[in-house]
Amino acid sequence: MKVFKGLAVAGLAIAISSSMALVSCNGSSSTSTTDSTSATTNSDDNTILGAGSSFDNPLFSKMFSEYNKTNGLKVNYQSIGSGGGILQLTNKTVDFGASDAPLNGKQDSALSAPVVHIPVTAGAVVIGYNLPEMKDTLMLTPSVLADIFLGKITKWNDAKIAAINKGVKLPATGIIIAHRSDGSGTTNIFTTYLSKVSEEWSTKVGKGSSINWPVGLGGKGNEGVAGSIKQTPGTIGYIELAYAMQNNMAFAKVQNKSGKFITPSIASVTAAADIQIPADGKVSLTNTDAADGYPISGFSWVLIYKEQKYNNRSMDRASKMVKLIWWATHEGQQYSSALNYAPLSPAAVSVGEAILKSATYDGKPILQ
């Protein structure tokens, strides 16, 4: 059995003890009580470690389960948020990270070697809400949505919300904001969108994976925010579409740049993602120009070190991981639609192929 040397065991222990969903060979999600020793020393070259985006977790659960059935490779994926995944990749305690936001300058500078971004899926960040007596689908404009999360609109029957939702009986209850407490690519997508559509948000709050929220209560992961919305009437928050669908939650139609109120769906995310993809794979889909595109859409990326010979990693381990990612961006895309993710466009797949082919082991390409 070959084991990573020099792993930051303490960091992994903290991550694993924090009620994380682990994706194993059967693809199930559970709360782990495994300590750092067993989580690392039981990992041989047939077990790949990943961590990061909770946005991706429902899709990864299915993908990695199916891959195990045909290839025998086990994947232990920790749904701890994009920020946590980037940190563990930086510390080289996992084989790959997953993030809904590209690395920023500070994160890049903390790396010991170049990391590449491979687009793996696209999805919608939806505005979930809990209004038990409301039977109509809530509609929101960009300005009203920004004012809600700025704390300027505090009642559900506010005149600005009522003007958009004509004829809808809105409750007089207060609005409770739910947001992420952890470093999150989902937060980055949402706040990047708000920064594009609201000058006040852009100047007072800004965008990023972790920000100082004007109002609201924090929850860990998409799971935590979805739970907060479900548990407390009057709550509104942002979550990935798959979590809203799986939890039978109501979510809003959001007005896009063309003036249409768009329901988040596979079709509307696909429309938003129908753009030119740069060679490095890093691009934002928010506030799309597409007439039928959902405006709060985003790519998610798998992050790996371009040079895979580090920490006494074997060529076999590096090869298995790269082949896993190749499969996820090709055959694995067949599982996207059923879980409310948009399959990658041919352009995104092509860019991902070129990036994966640039990965090396001891300076030589891994994929031949």
Residue 97 belongs to a domain with what CATH number? 3.40.190.10
Render pLDDT for 345-367 as a digit per residue (tens, 0 to 9): 999 999 999 999 999 999 999 99
What is the residue type of 72? G
Q: Are residues 280 and 329 in the same domain?
A: no
Q: Are residues 282 and 236 in the same domain?
A: yes
Whether 1 maps to a domain, the answer reads no
Q: Rounded to whole angstroms, how far apart are CA atoms 134 and 131?
A: 6
Whether 4 maps to a domain, the answer reads no
Q: Among residues 69, 54, 44, which one has the least CA distance to residue 19?
A: 54
Split into its structural domains, the chain has a count of 2
What is the Cβ-side half-sphere exposure of residue 4, based on CA atoms within 13 angstroms?
A: 26
The boundaries of the domain holding residue 57 are: 9-123+298-365
Whether 239 maps to a domain, the answer reads yes
Q: Rounded to whole angstroms, how far apart are CA atoms 334 and 355?
A: 21
Of 240, 267, 297, the one marking the end of a domain is 297
Whether 3 maps to a domain, the answer reads no
Render pLDDT for 287-335 as a digit per residue (tens, 0 to 9): 999 999 999 999 999 999 999 999 999 999 999 999 999 999 999 999 9
Q: Are residues 171 and 33 in the same domain?
A: no
Q: Are residues 305 and 335 in the same domain?
A: yes
Whether 2 maps to a domain, the answer reads no
What would the two tokens of residue 117 be?
């971004």
**Residue that the structure tokens 């889909």 belong to:** 285
Q: Are residues 152 and 248 in the same domain?
A: yes
Q: Are residues 22 and 72 in the same domain?
A: yes
The whole-number average pLDDT for the span 215-224 is 94
Whether 216 maps to a domain, the answer reads yes
Which residues touch 323 (CB under 8 Å, ≥6 apart)?
367
Whether 106 maps to a domain, the answer reads yes
Q: Rounded to whole angstroms, how far apart are CA atoms 190 and 241?
A: 13
Q: Are residues 144 and 256 in the same domain?
A: yes
Q: Rounded to whole angstroms, how far apart are CA atoms 210 and 81?
A: 11
> Do residues 129 and 251 make contact, with C-beta atoms less than 8 angstroms apart?
yes
Kind of pairing between the strands at 364-365 and 360-361: antiparallel
43 pLDDT band, cuts 50/70/90, is low
Which residues touch 48 (CB under 8 Å, ≥6 apart)?
73, 74, 75, 76, 95, 96, 317, 320, 321, 324
Q: Are residues 81 and 111 in the same domain?
A: yes
Of 297, 317, 350, the one marking the end of a domain is 297
Q: Are residues 175 and 141 in the same domain?
A: yes
Give yes or no for residue 23 having a pLDDT over 60.
no
Q: Among residues 169, 221, 195, 191, which one has the least CA distance to residue 15?
A: 221
Calculate the CA dihedral of residues 188, 109, 99, 236 and round it to 10 degrees: -20
Of 297, 330, 351, the one marking the end of a domain is 297
Whether 129 maps to a domain, the answer reads yes
Biggest CA-to-CA distance, the chain = 66
37 pLDDT band, cuts 50/70/90, is very low
Q: Are residues 99 and 187 in the same domain?
A: no
Predicted local distance difference test score (pLDDT) of residue 15: 38
What would the two tokens of residue 244 be?
């809203």
Render pLDDT for 148-191 as a digit per residue (tens, 0 to 9): 999 999 999 999 999 999 999 999 999 999 999 998 999 999 99
Render pLDDT for 71-96 as a digit per residue (tens, 0 to 9): 999 999 999 999 999 999 999 999 99
Percent of the chain with pLDDT over 90: 84
Q: Are residues 99 and 203 in the same domain?
A: no
Q: Are residues 288 and 193 in the same domain?
A: yes
